[in-house]
Amino acid sequence: MKRLYAASLLAASLAGCASAPPAVDTSEQEVIGIINKVNGYWQQREAPQKWAFWDIAAYHTGNMEAYQITGNPAWRKYSEDWAAHNNWQGAKSTDKATWKYQYGETDDHVLFGDWQICFQTYADLYKLDPDPKKIARAREVMEYQMSTANKDYWWWSDGLYMVMPVMTKLYTITGNRQYLDKLHEYFEYSNSIMYDSDAQLYYRDARYVYPKHQSVNGKKDFWSRGDGWVFAGLAKVLKDLPKDDPYRADYIAKFKGMAQALKKAQTDDGYWTRSLLDPQHAPGPETSGTAFFVYGYLWGINNGLLERDEYLPVVRKGWRYLSKTALQADGKIGYVQPIGDRAIPGQVVDQNSTTAFGVGAYLLASSELVRLLRQ
């Protein structure tokens, strides 16, 4: 009861006065109950023995946050069992001469970021119980990649979430400055081909840059989940990046710019449509992009980079959607757009549409909300 009372006082003070709306229409206990329900639903139905590719690995980034919040040992073991099943590797080729980084799901696509996101969870597990084998492959792959002259590794927006945090996490473990220098070099390349400085948003990749590609109504077509990957990825980078890093201001500027742009694109119902600036392109709720955005806003507020008074209303509306519409009675997370690379007019996304990465995004957002409520 004391904690509930403290949370209500905090909510009132954050809102500016006792009669104003609370910070978020929930309590720490309620959100933890939702986390338990959502993750329990998923893990009871899905064995951890699955591949290390991005769709499953993205779930584990959320599962590890849920573990950090709840301390539930079963959730940590779930990610450990997944890591062991994959031998703490991504793509498994040992012939560096064949390693590729264009799209591919085979073992020679070692340098493709969708096979590297697993290293985030391996690094998190290493920090909990250091054992060199947990990050040996991650270091081998990333340090080989950094030894090359290439800088065009992140040619699609998803890759910024998949790999940027890998490099900051490995920096915190190794102290190797090259991780941060190469991170910024690769990030600058991504900005050169995908970032729209006027909209302050990212195209999914170079194929979708305006005016070559347009929404159904002739507008710029920014894919919600694509920008969700970037916004959440920037939050994760800033979490681990040293405060005196010479490039920190660059990441903060992009993060704050996206926060301003995304605020304008949020619907009154709290979600973001699949095409951010053209709601009629693919109308209706979508959970994965929305959850990544809510996570990013919460992280920014919790860490003093985003103004509470300006952005708590965004979080409040987003959480209302996530907890009242996306969350189904049995713990399933619905309205997740299936695997893809763009907003597709006419594609059905409903309460039964769920995916591993969508659950991971939901766990990120709800875990970060607990941190807000604990402040």
The pLDDT score that the predictor gives to residue 296 is 99
The pLDDT score that the predictor gives to residue 100 is 98
pTM of the model: 0.94
Alpha-carbon span 95 to 177, nearest angstrom: 26
Supply the residues annotated as catalytic.
158
Residues of the chain with pLDDT under 50: 1-20
Please list the residues that pair with 195 across neighbouring strands.
Answer: 202
The pLDDT score that the predictor gives to residue 207 is 98
Answer whether the bond into residue 285 is a cis peptide, omega within 30°: no
The pLDDT score that the predictor gives to residue 4 is 46
Cβ neighbourhood burial of 358 (10 Å; 0-12, 13-18, 19+): buried
Alpha-carbon span 281 to 289, nearest angstrom: 15
The pLDDT score that the predictor gives to residue 10 is 47
The pLDDT score that the predictor gives to residue 303 is 98
